[in-house]
């Protein structure tokens, strides 16, 4: 059984090959949370995120993200679509 970090890293690779900005963030700290979680950070639309996770996971159900939060860019002037962190 693969870990969430492995699934999100593989999904990020698939999304990147599809032309989206994507990365697995092993220590994302959502607002209001006490501990960091594993998140998938991308500018891909939700339907493609679910598709990517289902393509790379042996058992995708526990890894499908349902919650998201907007992630600030390193510099506000950086080009590209807004990115969101996704987690179950």
Q: What is the pLDDT of residues 60-70, one digit of tens each?
A: 999 999 999 99
Residue 49 pLDDT greater than 90, yes or no: yes
Contact between 60 and 54 (Cβ < 8 Å): yes
Which tokens go with 24? 């697995």
pTM of the model: 0.91
CA angle 24, 19, 69 (to 5 degrees): 45
How many structural domains does the chain have?
Answer: 1
Output the pLDDT for position 52.
98
Contact between 38 and 9 (Cβ < 8 Å): no
Lowest-pLDDT range, 12-21, 37-46, 69-78?
69-78
Q: Tell me the pLDDT band of 78, cut-offs 50, 70 and 90.
A: confident
Nearest-angstrom CA–CA distance, 44 and 72: 15
Strands 37-42 and 67-71: unpaired
Residue numbers of the domain that contains 78: 4-87
Output the pLDDT for position 74.
67
Nearest-angstrom CA–CA distance, 33 and 43: 23
Average pLDDT of the residues in 20-38: 94
């Amino acid at each position: 059984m693969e870990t969430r970090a492995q699934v999100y890293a593989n999904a990020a690779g698939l999304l990147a090959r599809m032309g989206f900005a994507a990365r697995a963030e092993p220590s994302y700290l959502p607002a209001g949370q006490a501990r960091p979680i594993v998140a998938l950070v991308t500018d891909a639309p939700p339907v493609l995120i679910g598709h990517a996770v289902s393509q790379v996971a042996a058992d995708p159900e526990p890894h499908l993200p349902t919650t998201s939060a907007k992630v600030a860019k390193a510099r506000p002037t950086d080009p590209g679509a807004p990115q969101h962190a996704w987690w179950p």
